[in-house]
Structures are given as C-alpha cells and as structure tokens.
C-alpha cells in the first residue's frame, strides 16, 4: 500500500513556472487554500489558470492575482474580485471567458478523453467567435459545419474543445492515505470534475484518515486519480 501523504513543500516540487493549473472552487468555497499558499511560498509564477472565478481580493486565487502570478486565465466570471478586473482592463492578465456550464463540460471532456462537446450556449453571441459551428440537418440526419453568417435552418451548436492541465489542486473534506477522496456538501462543486483532467493531482484534505475509514459509497474521487495528499491548514 502506497502512502501518498506529503508536506506542502514536497508537493510544490511537482509544480513549476509556466504550468497550467486547474483550481476548483466557487468564490472561496472548496478552494485549495493551503496549496495556493504553497504556490505563493514556492515562488511559482507565470501560471495558466483554469477556474470558475478568481475568488475575492486577497483570498484563494485572489492571492495569485494580487501577486501577479497569473499570465492567463480561463474562467466564467471575475466580478467578485475588483483587482482581477483592474488587471484584465490594463492587459496584465490574458482572460478567456467561458459560460459556467460549458467550462465544466470542457474540463469533463478533457478528463474523459473526449474530443469536445456540442452546446447551444453562446450561439449568436461573442462566445461563438473563432469557434467551429455545427447545425443539425433533419433531412439528412447528420451534423454539418456552418458559418456564423449563414441563415440558421436547424439546431445550431458550438463545438467547445476539451480543457486539460499539467496540475490540479483539489480541496477535500476527507482523504485516506491512498488518495480516496470525499467532499463536503457544496465544497464539492468543481473539485470532482477538475480532479479528472490533469497530469498530476494534488489533494489537500481537512481530515486524513486510514485506508478503509472512507466507505466505498462515500468515495467521490478514487485514489487512482490522486498523486499526492497534503494536510489542509485551518488558516493560511
């Protein structure tokens, strides 16, 4: 049996400047605060971040924003963090907006090895710019590629490509020493999906327990997906 529990400092040796990183959480709920602080302490920078949002000023992902550690972010909104808005406006952060449901599905596709997803969300809006569009042809019973300025005849979809990252930093309520993970209520949010879509997955857990103390029906992310586990700190 392999014990995956390490210190934050050991975990950070698997992170590097310029990496892409999946950071789940909704504003400040279910955010890997201990591991984000680990990135700060290790001086990791030039990050490409995939996240739903950038938390708030001075907390969670907001720390990375404040300290200019992020070069690009793919997310759904930044309205909770005025500092992110300022840096995006000044051109200090390259931002790519994706509707929240589409973002989650793009990451799910990246984790499942799927080549992309078709969604009607964003059709006839700026969200379709630069993307491939498909339309369902009822007569032929097939999809065909179309251009944005073509008259719409059938149901139209945007082809959204999968998202995958070098590293995912996950927050869990409980993890056993083999990496089987359990989330707590709404802190589960994007953590479960994001844990599937990275080359290397680091989990911070509020409680680290022995193997067998998490029942099979309670496992939400299996240990096969988790590379390292860190004890989450109550204050960071």
Q: Where are the domains of the chain?
A: 8-99+163-231, 119-160
Mean pLDDT score, 16-35: 97
> Is the model's pLDDT at 159 over the cut of 90?
yes
Task: Tell me the whole-structure pTM to 2 decimals.
Answer: 0.95
> Is the model's pLDDT at 73 over the cut of 70?
yes
> Is the model's pLDDT at 104 over the cut of 70?
yes
pLDDT in tens, 184-235: 999 999 999 999 999 999 999 999 999 999 999 999 999 999 999 999 998 7
> Is the model's pLDDT at 47 over the cut of 80?
yes
Mean pLDDT score, 49-76: 96
190 burial (CB, 10 Å; 0-12 / 13-18 / 19+) is: buried
CATH number of 8-99+163-231: 3.40.1080.10
> Dihedral (C-alpha) 167, 171, 175, 179: value to the nearest 10 degrees?
-10
Please give the pLDDT value at position 143: 95
- For 6-65, list the strands marked E by DSSP: 20-22, 47-50
Please give the pLDDT value at position 236: 67
Contacts 24+ apart (CB under 8 A), 172-175: 172/203, 172/204, 172/205, 172/206, 172/221, 172/232, 173/205, 173/206, 173/207, 174/205, 174/206, 174/207, 174/208, 174/209, 174/214, 175/203, 175/205, 175/207, 175/208, 175/209, 175/214, 175/226, 175/229
pLDDT bracket for residue 2 (50, 70, 90)? confident
Please give the pLDDT value at position 234: 82
Question: How many C-beta atoms surround the C-beta of residue 138 within 10 A?
Answer: 9
Please give the pLDDT value at position 1: 58
pLDDT bracket for residue 3 (50, 70, 90)? confident
Mean predicted lDDT score pLDDT of the chain: 96
Please give the pLDDT value at position 62: 96
Comparing 58 with 168, the larger pLDDT belongs to 168
């Amino acid at each position: 049996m392999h014990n995956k529990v390490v210190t934050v400092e050991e975990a950070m040796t698997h992170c590097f400047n310029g990496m892409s990183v999946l950071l789940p959480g909704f504003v400040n709920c279910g955010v890997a605060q201990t591991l984000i602080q680990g990135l700060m302490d290790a001086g990791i920078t030039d990050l490409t971040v995939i996240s739903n949002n950038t938390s708030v000023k001075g907390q969670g992902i907001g720390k990375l924003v404040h300290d200019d550690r992020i070069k690009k972010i793919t997310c759904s909104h930044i309205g909770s963090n005025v500092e992110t808005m300022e840096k995006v406006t000044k051109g200090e952060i390259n931002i790519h907006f994706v509707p929240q449901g589409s973002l989650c599905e793009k990451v799910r596709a990246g984790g499942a090895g799927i080549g992309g997803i078709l969604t009607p969300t964003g059709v006839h809006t700026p969200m379709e710019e630069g993307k491939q569009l498909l339309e369902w042809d009822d007569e032929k019973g097939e999809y065909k590629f179309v251009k944005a300025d073509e008259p719409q005849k059938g149901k139209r979809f945007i082809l959204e490509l999968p998202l995958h990252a070098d590293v995912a930093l996950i927050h869990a309520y409980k993890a056993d020493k083999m990496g089987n993970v359990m989330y707590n209520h709404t802190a589960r949010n994007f953590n479960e999906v994001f844990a599937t879509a990275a080359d290397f997955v680091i989990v911070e857990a509020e409680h680290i327990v022995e193997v067998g103390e998490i029942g099979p029906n309670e496992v939400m992310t299996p240990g096969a997906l988790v590379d390292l586990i860190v004890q989450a700190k109550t204050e960071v």
